[in-house]
Chain A
Amino acid sequence: MAKKVLLEKAHIKGIRAYDVYKAQGGYASVEKALKMDPAAIVEEVKKSGLRGRGGAGFPTGMKWSFLAKPEGVPRYLVCNADESEPGTFKDRYLMEFLPHLLIEGLIVSSFALGSNSTYIYIRGEYAWIVNILEQAIEEAKQHGYLGKNILNTGFDCEIYVQRGAGAYICGEETALIESLEGKRGNPRIKPPFPAIKGLWDCPTVVNNVETIAAVVPIINMGGEEYAKIGVGRSTGTKLLSACGNINKPGVYEIDMTISVEEFIFSDEYCGGIPNGKRLKACIPGGSSVPILPANLLLKTAKGETRYMNYESLSDGGFATGSMMGSGGFIVLDEDQCIVRHTMSLARFYRHESCGQCSPCREGTGWMEKILTKIENGKGQSSDIDLLWDIQRKIEGNTICPLGDAAAWPVAAAIRHFRDEFEWHVNNPSLCLTENYGLAHYADELSIVS
């Protein structure tokens, strides 16, 4: 059984309420941290090796240490709860069932960073969770953990919940800041980074929900102890949201030492593929990261076991590997059509492009059109090369990473499933009624049950 430090108490009855949460040891990290020097808290987070859980995996302690501290200028902590990456629903689970864990982490982090007004920017569709969070904030305030002069330390802090209104791009930190300022979610050109010039031009740290929640066990057990969980530079635990064609979709906390195969087939996690179908492919870290065929998913190109951690998932680079990303784990069984699935993701990115940069604004729509054509039996063989060309011209040529996020799924689908694209083009009628199936690599697989 993997060690849990975030969700271990998620199933306790009534844990959403302050009294139960507190009785289970809640808010201990606030009591401890507010007696520490803020710089010492940053140091603990550095020691923990915690990496941003939103998708980029940037070391949190380092991000915190970049925060500028000019005299007389307010600093802000903003919690990114704009969870919108297809396949990802872990932050929702955490906020819905353990709202006080997030509030506790935010108080400690606000103290460490010197933020007196902290904002949770939550995607607008999670409307009911706003009430859950505001209730938790109210309870924390009643018990002296928020408001003026918290625990008689002289530290003041308020937490506010701000709802978005439907825009994937607002998960990008500078777009989020723009949105929080009441504007369109157009990402900013960097530098300057938010740590220097963020919300209302003040130094700002933007952290994902799960990242902030992880600060609680880090303070409670100490950074060094936390770093002992996991392996190598993948320290601590990671929340994974598993979905697609699996028996047990849901949110799981893993300690990053288990193999991908165990995660998919073990009853403790995904519980295998329904109806005796075989595994075709998987997007292991949210829709933006490269899709992998079953053979490269379970084993690396060198034939080694692939594990559920940052390093192992990216082993082989984009040629034969993928990424941990946001932990949105999407499984495709043998009946799924890669062209159709890629088309759906291309539509998503076209819909979500903010329209600032031409390569992304024009390219995402172009890719969707071509994929729709191929899927509907109207594609030509030159379309596959054209798709490849378009995605290459988007990647790296935009202000924010949405361009890359739109390009990678298309690139990986062509890289690993080109035969399936060609089959569509060569069989324009057949592809409307039949699926290509498992493809060439199926016989190499040991685990396909």
Chain B
Amino acid sequence: MLKFSDNKLKEVKKIIDRYPQGKQKSALIPLLHMAQSEFGGWLSPESMDYIASLLTIDPIEVYEVATFYSMYNLQPVGKHVFEVCQTGPCMLNGSDNIINYIKTKLNIGVGETTEDGLFTLKTVECLGACGYAPMMQLGDHYREHLTKEKVDAIIEECRGKE
């Protein structure tokens, strides 16, 4: 059975304490972030049920939230997820070329994962980096002013971590 570590459970308590008594459901979105990063980069039904039990809410209350927000992965993803912005300002600065380059380079389509399970390519809508376009999110950070060379370097960097 899935379970957070004791340290993480302390963090859970700290988060719940931010809200008035009885309003622990407010911790749902932060806890889903935590579950996703602790339990393999995606939200399985099992991990969502676990969060429901921690917050003493119904599982359906978790599912309806998890399916609403785009940052939650409801299917397994690769170890490194390239989330490339494709909205207007990034498009004006060549995001289409970057997306096509990644597709060719990794031999995957949008929404797909490489066979070795290392990379997933996603397109996303505006991430608030319009002045530094084109860009992608990789984990908790942004990679900006993307060029083909930069994409190559990022892929190598990820491979180097293996």
Query: Which residues of A approach B to under 8 Å, CB–CB?
Result: 74, 83-89, 92, 117, 119, 123-128, 158, 160, 162-168, 179-185, 200, 241-245, 249-251, 283, 287, 328, 330, 332, 336, 340-341, 344-345, 347-348, 351-352, 354
Contact = CB atoms under 8 A, between A and B. Distances in A.
**Most chain B beta carbons < 10 A, residue from A126, A182, A245, A249:** A182
B139 to A, nearest CB: 8
Contact of A341 (B23, B92, B128, B132): B92
Nearest to A202: B20
Interface of B: 18, 20, 23, 25-30, 32-33, 55, 57, 61, 64-65, 68-72, 86-89, 91-93, 124-133, 137, 140-142
B134 to A, nearest CB: 11
B14 to A, nearest CB: 10
Given A83-B128, A88-B130, A165-B32, A243 B26 contact: no
**Most chain A beta carbons < 10 A, residue from B61, B88, B127:** B88
A165 B87 contact: no
Nearest to A91: B128
A74 B128 contact: no
B105 to A, nearest CB: 23
Nearest to B130: A243
Given A179-B29, A243-B133, A165 B128 contact: no
B26 A74 contact: no
Given A84-B126, A165-B70, A168-B125, 5 more contacts: A117-B18, A117-B20, A164-B29, A200-B20, A341-B92
A328 B130 contact: yes
26 contacts: A85-B126, A89-B130, A89-B131, A117-B18, A117-B20, A123-B128, A125-B127, A125-B128, A126-B128, A128-B140, A160-B18, A163-B30, A165-B29, A166-B70, A166-B71, A182-B25, A183-B65, A241-B131, A243-B133, A245-B92, A245-B93, A249-B130, A249-B133, A328-B130, A332-B92, A347-B86
B128 A92 contact: yes
B68 A244 contact: no
B29 A182 contact: yes
B131 A348 contact: no
A344 B70 CA distance: 18
Contacts of B29: 124, 162-165, 179, 182
Contact of B88 (A126, A287, A354): A287
Contact of A182 (B33, B65, B71, B91): B65
A330 B93 CA distance: 11
Contact of A165 (B69, B86, B130, B133): B69
A311 B137 CA distance: 37
Contacts of B70: 165-167, 351
Contact of B87 (A83, A163, A345): A345
A242 B131 contact: yes
Nearest to A342: B88
